[in-house]
Amino acid sequence: MNEILELKEKVAVLRNNLGEWREAYDKEKAWLDERIADLTKLWETKNAELIESFRESAQANGEAEHELREALVAHYEKTGNKTFDKQLSVRVNTKLIYPTGKALDWCKANAPFLIKEELDVKNFEQVAKAQNFDFVEVEEKVSAVISKEL
């Protein structure tokens, strides 16, 4: 009991010290953030033309890549060739689409090993708490809570 009270006081003192250090840190960090913002504005003003050229170039590149991708897909659809050259090709992904009910019916009749049973854990645990099954063990995990207002 006495040990806990001593530790509580220690934590309270250290939290107070941390708060004071955080204030000093935040003040200095705010100064740095202001300098960074000033430098960023200065750099953006000085390099406005460069920035605009970069943005235009990036946009033009994106549009050209989009056109190239569309042309490659059209080429594949026309010829069936996935590879255009060493650097250009298409990838064809496949996905099976089927009604789950029909798939389950087929598996039951032809391949029951493909059907797996799963426990609905959330609902089972609700029932188990109410029923007190002899095969269910309750494990408690204790954790300490320290108020932020300490």
pLDDT at residue 44 in the model:
98
pLDDT at 150 over 80: no
Residue 22, pLDDT > 90, answer yes
| CA dist., res. 33 & res. 25, Å (int) | 12
For the ranges 17-26, 71-80, 130-139, which has the lowest average pLDDT? 130-139
- H helix or E strand, kind and range, residue 77: helix 48-79
Residue 150: closest CA among 20, 7, 11, 3:
11
Task: Give the residue-averaged pLDDT of 14-38.
Answer: 95
133-142 confidence digits (pLDDT tens): 889 998 989 8
